[in-house]
Chains A and B, each alone.
Chain A
Amino acid sequence: MSYAIEMRHIRKEFPGIVANDDITLQVEEGEIHALFGENGAGKSTLMNVLFGLYQPDKGEIYVHGEKAVINDPNDATRLGIGMVHQHFMLIDKFTVAENIILGREPKKHGMLDMAKAVKIVKELSEKYGLDVDPNQKIEDITVGMQQRVEILKTLYRGSDILIFDEPTAVLTPIEIQELIAIMKRLVKEGKSIILITHKLKEIFECCDRCTVIRRGKNIDSMAISETNPTDLASMMVGRKVHVQINDAPYEPKEKVLEVSHLSVLDQRKVSVVNDLNLTVHGGEILGIAGVDGNGQTELIEAIAGLRKVKDGSIKVDGQDLTNQRTRKIIEAGLGYIPEDRQKHGLVLDFSVGENMVLQTYYKKPYAQSGFLKNKVITKKAKQLIQEFDVRTPSEKTLARSLSGGNQQKVIVAREVDRSPKLLIAAQPTRGLDIGAIEFIHGKLIEEKKKGKAVLLISFELDEILHLSDRIAVIYEGRIIDIVNPKETNENELGLLMAGRRKGGAEA
């Protein structure tokens, strides 16, 4: 029997990284096949190769047993491959039906035949139990509904192989259940599905087989019936770079950050942080473990004053800073290494020196009565460049032209040097090389030793396990458990992150 999709020995390189290294993926006809791995493991790259958005450097693709060359999404569509994008490719102001037929419009005398379009969409929707209203506008329907429109777009084009790219990342639990039912029905109707995910729960709920990739390499493929969550979790995480271990004694001091009953909405006005409570003490590193999209980003943005708090309070050092201006929060003692270092952490077209004083440029000694003291700034920059080993030709160099690791060092230098009472480090080592990772880990531990409170957010379990004094597991906007890193392991954490409380009960 031939496979619906067979990708053999795929290799895809980007400048500096090998995203896919000799990956083979075999998807049987009529199955739901999970492509499982951490963020950045190479799942999306592989699927973009399949969908024609990237060309592989090596390897071959077979569709229903026939060798295929896929140069662009049109080729993929012709071969019956459809993609449900993680970031929906939908036009908000168009109706459901318009979005679906776009590019392949039913016509009558050269005009749009919307009546026919609506009819087709209705029929498809009913056949697969998708329950969408063709006449509603995208901006008026829920995210779950929007996703079904994406599914309909592929079905309308006659796809029989559907790729779902992290489809549950944006859905509520109920919507996730609905989606799983839909996927099962699609398979019953003869479609084959590839599900890209890093959530264990989904795999065990709906998949037939699974391929695990890690760091761009194939780890294993197996039937779901022959494995268990613990094995799969350890396969996903694997053994990684040896990270610096937080061996300083744990001597927590006074409370520095107190978050109580915090609720925060995201852009779509959906509550993503729900009644969250969290305390971080001086002299400790508190790691927040969780799968991407469980409210971490919104939590730290709320603390930093970048996102409105709907309910609850945030105190730093006893001072109530709920919904205060960012500058006030910074002045109250917040240091923040942001998740997106190029977007938030640096003004890329500023020099390294200018970036070193991004929050302090208006204060003494860097300024006096509104005038910058460039000499002092330069001196400070030079000192920090040396102290934090930033590899840059000079402090005048634009931040844009530094490597990722050195850019991050600039941010860390700036944030640590201000000697904040609370230091938030969001994904501080993502995408960095080993040397830079070790350096930054060392700095975080140093801050802890100085008695500062450090809040660490990371999707790298290793990083959390090795640096934290306590680990708070976040799931659907709540801290569902706080564990001692010395008494836990990756498997247990993996289960918690998937929403399973200790003892196997569902959260």
Chain B
Amino acid sequence: MIKLVKKINWMTLLVPVISVILGLLCGAVIMLVIGYNPILAYQSIVESIFLQPYYTGETIRAMIPLVLAGLAVAFAFRTGLFNIGVEGQLMAGWLASVACAIVFGHLPRVILLPLSVLAGGAAGALWGYIPGLLKAKFKVHEVISTIMMNYIALYTTAYIIKNFLYTEGERTPTIPAAASLASPFLANLTQGSRLHWGFIVAIIAVVAMWFILWKTTKGYELRAVGFSPDASQYAGMNVSRNIILSLTISGIFAGLGGAMEGLGTYQYMTINSTFTGIGFNGIAVALLGLNTPIGVVLSGALFAGLQTGGLTMQSNAGVPVELIQIIIALIIFFVGSGYVIKWAMGRLTRKGHK
């Protein structure tokens, strides 16, 4: 019996690993067909990330919002909800943090920085709360409502910037240094990358997700509702309230992700005509990470590495960086088809035994 349990765990790990391998293999096949050298391409990715401090720094920098977005998606998944609205929550958080930093620019750093970070989280929370409320009270499916909220965020943030926080270059002014997460120390350490202190926020968030879900009574409820609304109701839990709470917390993670971009990477927010892509990437990160905090970190590292290293791949092997996006898409398809992978692996092992 114990053996059986271990086998099941192994099987669940197998799906993401096989998906990544298949995704990379498919990418290699595409490169071969077109006439690129896949070994050179992948080699340049790996070498840049691990041997060039600048790219190492940029990878970790890219991981920060990606991990937070991944946590947002994963947290909602744990409660049985599909949050496609990370993109919008992230934008809301981004703008709120930048706006807060600019408006309260006169405050000292010890107050301004935490306040701006919190403003980002709060805006994300609001953007998650609304679909949560709509789901709990009116049974509006969160997939549709969060997509709508994304666009509302896209246009609203652009409008606010244009009318209230506009400066040359289609963007907000740069935030005061007191609110900045940027660090000359980290930049020097990584030969001028944009790595900033936000990684500490990401680490705290990873621990927070784990702690909330597995160490608090609220987390217990959230997980119970996610796995079985029926049993939760039977046990006296308030299913509606947990749905709202889940999407709100999910929104906080996403909003923090936006704040990291606003206070760390860019120090301002541009008027976006399209999405950042971080929110959608977060879905991939969460799925591949099996919706666990550690998994999100690992898959966040993978995707951040691929995206950052993709740039060197483009310059060294001549492969357009879009190939990375194709590979990520394929990995999502494979992870999503986990049922087939498990089934195929089951057949293979059974045949092996016979």
Contact A347 B227 (CB under 8 A): yes
Contact of A393 among B1, B216, B223 (CB under 8 A): B1
Inter-subunit contact A370/B2 (CB<8 Å): no
B231 near A346: Cβ-Cβ < 8 Å: yes
Which of B217, B227, B235, B238 contacts A370 (CB under 8 A)?
A: B217
Closest residue on chain B to residue A357 by CB atoms: B220
Q: Is B137 an interface residue (CB 8 A)?
A: no
- Most chain B CB within 10 A, of A336, A346, A347, A348, is at A347
Instruction: Check if A372 sits within 8 Å of B236, measured CB to CB.
Output: no
Query: Does the CB pair A327–B237 fall under 8 Å?
Result: yes
B230 close to chain A: CB less than 8 A: yes
Given A361-B220, A370-B216, A372-B215, also A347-B231 (CB < 8 A): yes
Is A242 part of the contact surface with B, judged by Cβ < 8 Å?
no
Residue of A with least CB distance to B235: A358
| Residue B119 interfacial (CB < 8 Å) | no
Instruction: Type the 1/0 row for A359-393, where 1 means its CB is closer than 8 Å to any CB of B.
Output: 10110000100111010000000000000000001
Contact residues, B208-240 vs A (CB, 8 A): 214-221, 223-224, 227-228, 230-238
Report if B51 contacts A (CB, 8 A).
no
Q: Does A188 contact B (CB under 8 A)?
A: no
B236 A325 Cβ-Cβ under 8 A? yes
Q: Are B235 and A350 in contact (CB under 8 A)?
A: no
A436 is an interface residue with CB less than 8 A from chain B: no
Partner of A359, one of B1, B4, B235: B235
Q: In whole angstroms, how far apart are the Cα atoms of A402 and B235 in the complex?
A: 20
Query: In whole angstroms, what is the CA distance A343 to B230 when docked?
Result: 6
A393: chain B residues at CB < 8 Å are: 1-2, 5
Q: Which of B214, B224, B236 has the most CB of A within 10 A?
A: B236
Partner of B4, one of A306, A327, A401: A401
Chain A residues closer than 8 Å to B236, beta-carbon distance: 305, 325-331, 359
What total of chain A residues lie within 8 Å of the partner, measured CB to CB? 34
A326 / chain B contacts, CB cutoff of 8 Å: 233-236
**A344-B5 in contact given A330-B236, A370-B217, A371-B215 (Cβ < 8 Å):** no
Query: A397: CB under 8 A from chain B?
Result: yes
Task: Find residues 180-224 in chain B having any chain A CB closer than 8 Å to their own CB.
Answer: 214-221, 223-224
In angstroms, Cα B238 to Cα A358, docked, is 13
Contact of A338 with B by CB under 8 A = yes
Q: Is A304 an interface residue (CB 8 A)?
A: yes
A391 — nearest CB in chain B belongs to which residue?
B1
Residues B224 and A358 in contact, CB atoms below 8 Å apart: yes
Query: With a CB–CB cut-off of 8 A, which chain B residues contact A405?
Result: none
Q: Is the CB of B216 within 8 A of A338?
A: no
Q: Say yes or no: B227 contacts A349, CB within 8 Å.
A: yes
Question: Contact flags (1/0) for B88-125 with A, using CB distance below 8 Å?
Answer: 00000000000000000000000000000000000000
Is A160 an interface residue when CB atoms closer than 8 A count as contact? no
A165 CB-CB contact with B under 8 Å: no
The number of residues on chain B lying at the interface, defined by a beta carbon within 8 Å of a beta carbon of chain A, is 26
Residues of A within 8 A of B5 (CB): 393, 397, 401
Contact of A338 with B215 in the complex, beta carbons under 8 Å: no
CB distance from A378 to the nearest CB of B (A): 13
Interface SS, B side: helix
* Cα–Cα distance between A330 and B234 once the two chains are bound (Å): 10
List the A side residues contacting B221 at CB < 8 Å: 361-362
> Does any Cβ of B come within 8 Å of A345's Cβ?
yes
Say yes or no for A354: interface residue by CB 8 A criterion: yes
Task: Contact check, A350 vs B227: say whether CB atoms are below 8 A apart.
Answer: yes
In the bound complex, how far is the Cα of B326 from the Cα of A498, in angstroms? 65
Q: How far is the CA of A88 from the CA of B25 in the complex (A)?
A: 48
A306 — which chain B residues lie within 8 A by C-beta? Answer: 233-234
Tell whether, in the assembled complex, residue A344 and residue B215 are in contact, meaning their CB atoms are under 8 Å apart: no
For A331, what are the chain B residues with a Cβ–Cβ distance below 8 Å? 236
Residues on A with beta carbons closer than 8 Å to the beta carbon of B217: 361-362, 367, 370-372
Q: How far is the CA of A326 from the CA of B239 in the complex (A)?
A: 12
Q: Which residues of A contact B219 (CB under 8 A)?
A: 372
Q: Which of B223, B224, B231 contacts A344 (CB 8 A)?
A: B231
* Closest-CB distance, B37 to chain A (whole angstroms): 45
Determine if B230 and A350 form an interchain contact, defined as CB atoms under 8 angstroms apart. Answer: no
Q: Does A338 lie within 8 Å of B234, measured CB to CB? A: yes
- C-alpha gap A306/B221 in the complex (Å): 18
Contact with A along B1-14 (1 / 0, CB 8 A): 11011001000000
Taking CB as reference atom, which chain A residue is nearest B4? A401
Interface residues of B in 1-40 (CB under 8 A from A): 1-2, 4-5, 8
Q: How far in angstroms is the closest Cβ of chain A from B354?
A: 20
Q: Which of B1, B216, B223 contacts A371 (CB 8 A)?
A: B216
Q: How far is the CA of A325 from the CA of B228 in the complex (A)?
A: 18
Residues of B230-253 whose CB lies within 8 A of A = 230-238
**Are A348 and B227 in touch, CB under 8 angstroms?**
yes
Residue ID in chain A nearest B236 by CB atoms: A327
Residue with the greatest number of chain A CB neighbours at <10 A, chosen from B215, B216, B234 = B234
Name A347's contact: one of B4, B214, B216, B224 (CB within 8 Å): B224
Contacts of A344 in B (CB 8 A): 230-231, 234
Residues of B within 8 A of A349 (CB): 227-228
Q: List B contacts of A345 (CB < 8 A).
A: 231, 234
Shortest distance between the CB of A86 and any CB in chain B (Å): 22
What 5 A-B pairs have minimum CB-CB distances, sorted nearest first? A327-B236, A326-B236, A344-B234, A362-B217, A358-B235
Kindly list 15 other residue pairs between chains A and B, CB separation below 8 angstroms, not including A329-B236, A347-B227.
A326-B233, A326-B234, A326-B236, A330-B235, A330-B236, A345-B231, A346-B228, A347-B228, A348-B227, A349-B228, A358-B224, A361-B217, A372-B217, A374-B215, A393-B5
Q: List 29 A-B contacts (CB under 8 A).
A: A304-B234, A305-B236, A306-B233, A325-B236, A325-B238, A326-B235, A326-B236, A327-B238, A328-B236, A329-B236, A330-B236, A336-B234, A343-B228, A343-B230, A343-B231, A344-B230, A347-B231, A347-B232, A348-B227, A349-B228, A354-B220, A358-B224, A361-B217, A361-B221, A362-B220, A367-B217, A370-B218, A372-B216, A372-B220
